Structure 1
Amino acid sequence: MNVLHTADWHLGMTLCGRRRDKEAKEFLDWLAGVIERESVDLLLVTGDIFDNGSPSATSQSLYYRFLTAAAAAGCRHIIITAGNHDSPAFLEAPREILEPLNIHIVGKAGAGHPGGTFLLDRPDGKPECIVAAVPYLRDRDIRHSTPGISIDEKALQIRKGVQSIYQEAWEAACIMQPEDRPRVPVIVTGHLFAAGGKTIEGDGVRDQVAGFIERVGADVFPAEAAYVALGHLHVPQKVAGIDTIRYPGSPIPVGFGEAEQQKEVIIVTTAPGIPAVVRSVPVPRFRHLTTIRGDLPAISDRINELRDTSDPVWAEVIYDGAALPGDLMGEVAGMVEGTPIEVLRVKDMRLVSAALSAYQSCEELAELTETEVFRRRMETAEIPPEQQDRLMTAFREVRRDMDSNEPDGGDLA
């Protein structure tokens, strides 16, 4: 049986106000092609199908069109579990319509109801695989609220709750094993933060539940499972170095922090009595994202390198030079004019540093003169001494003009 594992599509997401629907469509079209080329029998989507619980009409259209395309490409079984961004009720609403098409949706789980367990057959009707589909687990799904308990006690309850649900899911799968045939492989799913998992700054991963207090270890998953299909983390990775416990990662970079990351989906081949064979399939880049960082000359040089690129580029510019540009936004806009580069965000790291240092100061603003405040501000921005002298001269001239134009009794504040 060929299984394709993917997660964290985040349909409907935006970046700096720009919609990502075009990239999502191109990815889903590509994925349908992979399903056909790889003769995929089972598609597993382990959470965060949508970016929010109330997806737009466009996002819903992309989703349902893809399900149709996947079935047309020969995929015999599709199992989708909810992530923390998804609405379980929304995902499960069309379940009765989709199940006759061998599309199974699992939105929620809890004690006594560890998700959904499915015995999948081959075209000849013989059992082929069992999937114990566990979705994202919310706090209320895995523990009873107890007033007055400590953080450590709550963490222990969460860990035990997660372990209990996976044990229940495994037992439900074992009950489904055919009695008169060899045991078939069991695949387990999850949407959570495994201990040791890698993230990237700005990737939007919400570290919560089974992660917001206590990240779960690989030992919560049944050791006998042929494969554990996870979602939530956007970096493709193994858990605890185990080849058969995997995050495929997000197929489309959700932020600039993921721009240089090679995205992938995972193909798993299973058969009774044989260890699963796992391999990754690289996902093409559907949008060129890049971070341009440095002082003004370095930013200009990088923009010139990208000037002749054939694809449109979305960029963030991070200025970390020492000099004080008169109009950073204007300077950058001039550099990209006539290029395929669209700058979505400009960060001035001098301002970020100044804001952080302000929290570390115990000095009262009222204790300083206006001139002293301006001098301190130049120092926190690390403006070169020769520029400081010119700026201070200009500042004093502005102060004199303000004083001379101020009506009697006025207040500079």
Structure 2
Amino acid sequence: MRGPGLWWRGKSTLGKVETYTRWSFHFFPLVELTAIGLPVFGQVEAGLAVVLFLPLCAHAVLCGVTASRSLDWTRGTREQPVRLLLSLGVFSALFGAAALGLAGHAPAGGGTAAATTSLCVGVLVFGVGTLALGVRGRRRVLGIVTGVAAGAGLVALAVGLNGSAALGVGLATLFGGGGLSFTSVFSVWLLDSVYELDAARETRTRLAVAEERLRFGRDLHDVMGRNLAVIALKSELAVQLSRRGRPEAVDQMIEVQRIARESQREVREVVRGYREADLGAELAGAQGVLTAAGVDCSVTGSATGLPPAVQSALGWVVREATTNVLRHGDARRCRVTLRPAGNHVTLTVENDGAERTAAQEATGKPGALGGGTGGGTGLAGLRERLAAVAGTLEAGPVDGDLFRVVAEVPLPPASSTASPSASSEATVSRSVSEEVTP
């Protein structure tokens, strides 16, 4: 049972719904044979029972094949199985009429009439329910159900059954076929709805990525647009002054040089905001993106006071983990916890709905990221970034469909945290002096 269990848990919700729907209709032929065919052997002679059971087996197989092709047509992988639908309709009608004919000519007081009448109703009910999978529109399904029920009642009268028996055949076919047809239509609607929801979720994810790209483009436009316009204007002014032999041309070119350096510094700051992830911004962004994708996301902890290098490394972990939650599995809940403890800080990202197979492929082996040779490039990049700050990363499935990513980074001593500030102050002073000095 371990293999089938892993196979089932490895499927997404979309795959589970489709598999359940398909196998439900594939199970219907067995139900038809068990509930309708086997009782015939106990009510009629053995020879007649075999004669009736063999076409019933053919009808059950035809229903199963038609149901499978109709579901493929529903998903758009095949054309509508028109020939199979016509064949099933004709076969069901002929088989039902033959069974009613046997019931009309059966001797009174025996079980043959009751058995063949039940056989007729069962064949028509399963036939109509399967036909409903291959047509679209409530009116068409309703027309098939009522038409078959009325036809069954008229044929019952024509073969010699009394009025009450014919009415019973018609009503049984109407309610039985209507109930199974409703099940078929509802199953197709549910399957289509699940696919549409999955497509909408994918669309929300792509929109979130597109919005981030637009934000990056707006930031670059805001930084470079004005500065490039000023550079072009001052360069043109310097050209005009130089042609006239004016010494002010040198001052204008010095100003152009200063603006160019300022633009370069601003562009680097914009790009650094994407290359060096800010942990606080990444936590807020992850919560917003996952919430927009329909995932219940909660964030616990604050990045205040953590060194910039630690924030950058953990910010990349949050970004990559969020991407994996959106792309892999079928998460409904995600919990992000940031917990400083003593001389280290721990970041935990946990989500449900993880695909176990995908998780094992991504990690190389269950439980840890360190030893896999087939791991994804994103997780391999995280290991490299955390290794730069002496951090570790573990990930893997836990407790069934949960997937957990745990990153632990040691915190530098207080004396070490001051040196980066001093270094940055020296860098700023150097930059200011370069800007002031021509």
Length-normalised TM-score, structure 1:
0.28
Greater RCO (CA < 8 Å, at least 6 residues apart): 1
Structure 1 or 2, whichever has the larger Rg, is 2
Q: Which structure shows the bigger proportion of residues in strand conformation?
A: 1
Larger helix share, 1 or 2:
2
- Normalising by structure 2, report the TM-score: 0.26
